[in-house]
Structure 1
C-alpha cells in the first residue's frame, strides 16, 4: 500500500528582528558576487524569547539575475542563559530598481519584493530540544538597518 504524504501546515513560532551592520562588498569571487553583512544583535520574541548576540553575519551571493542568496548564521541567548544557533537560508528577489532601493536603505513595501527563508536551530538546552526537530520558514522584510521576520513551524 502506498500512502500519500500529509499536507504540511504552518504554525506561527516566533518573530525576529536582526540589527545589521554596514555591508562589506567583497566583489566578484570564485563563488560569485559576495557580500557580507555583520549581525550587531537583535531580538527573538512572540513564542520564543532570546537576544541575538553580536558576531554572526549574513553571507550573501548576488546572482547574475540580481537575486540574492541569503546565508545568515547567528547566535541567541535566552533569558535563562541557554544558547541557540540559528542558520537562515533563503532568497531575496524582485525588480532591479526595488533591489537597488533596498541596497540604498530605501523604505520599500515588502509586497514589492520576494524575501523568504528557511530556519534551522541548534541548542544543547533540553527544554528547547524541540526546536531542533522542526524546520521553520519565514516571510522577511528588509529595513535600512535591520531584517524582520515572522517564523512559522512547518508541521
Structure 2
C-alpha cells in the first residue's frame, strides 16, 4: 500500500449567516421514499461574505425517519444587490431526544444546543465575482424557530 503523506486536517472559517423565512409545513404523508414533508421558503437574508436577499419559491424537501430524525434537503435562490443570482443547496440532519423534537414540532423556541441541526451547503452561480463560492463546501450549525431557520455557515478549509 502506497502512502501519500499525512492528510490535512480540515479547518472552519466563518463565511456567512442565513435567516430563512418559512411558510406552513406541507405534510405529504408516507410516500415511496418515506414520510415526506415540504416546507416552503418565503424569503430571508444572507449576510457576511455574501450579502443577498433570499427569493421566495424555494423549499426544504424533508424526509422524517421513524426515530424522528429529519433529513434536510433545502434548495433556494438568492439575489445580491448587484443582481447576481445564487442557488444554495443545504443538505443535512436535524435530530434530538423525542421531547425536544416534539417541542420543535409545536413551534416552541428551543435552545439550539439541545438538539443536533447541521447541514452542508453548496453554492452555484454564474457570477464571475462569486465563482469562488462554487469551489468550497460550507458546514452550518442551524436553529429551527416557529416560522424561520437561522444558520451560520463556515467554509471548510
TM-score range, shorter-chain basis?
A: over 0.9
Q: Deviations over 1:73-131 (max 9, x none)?
A: 00000000000000000000001111111111001111110000000000000000000
Decide which of 127, 130, 140 is 2:129's aligned counterpart: 127
In the alignment, structure 1 residue 108 sits paired with structure 2 residue 110: yes
Secondary structure of the structure 1 residue equivalent to 2:126: coil
How far apart in 1 are the matches of 2:105 and 2:4?
49
In the alignment, structure 1 residue 25 sits paired with structure 2 residue 27: yes
Counterpart in the other structure of 1:16: 18
How far apart in 2 are the matches of 1:16 and 1:30?
32
How far apart in 1 are the matches of 2:155 and 2:129?
17
Q: What TM-score comes out, normalization by structure 1 length? A: 0.98
How far apart in 2 are the matches of 1:48 and 1:153?
12
1:47 Cα deviation from its structure 2 partner: 2.0
In the alignment, structure 1 residue 65 sits paired with structure 2 residue 63: no
Counterpart in the other structure of 1:43: 45
Q: What stretches of structure 2 of length at least 5 have no aligned partner?
A: none
Q: What stretches of structure 1 of length at least 5 have no aligned partner?
A: none
Q: How many residues align?
A: 155
Decide which of 142, 146, 149 is 2:148's aligned counterpart: 146
1:65 Cα deviation from its structure 2 partner: 1.1
1:70 Cα deviation from its structure 2 partner: 0.2
How far apart in 2 are the matches of 1:18 and 1:140?
11
Counterpart in the other structure of 2:94: 92
1:60 Cα deviation from its structure 2 partner: 0.3
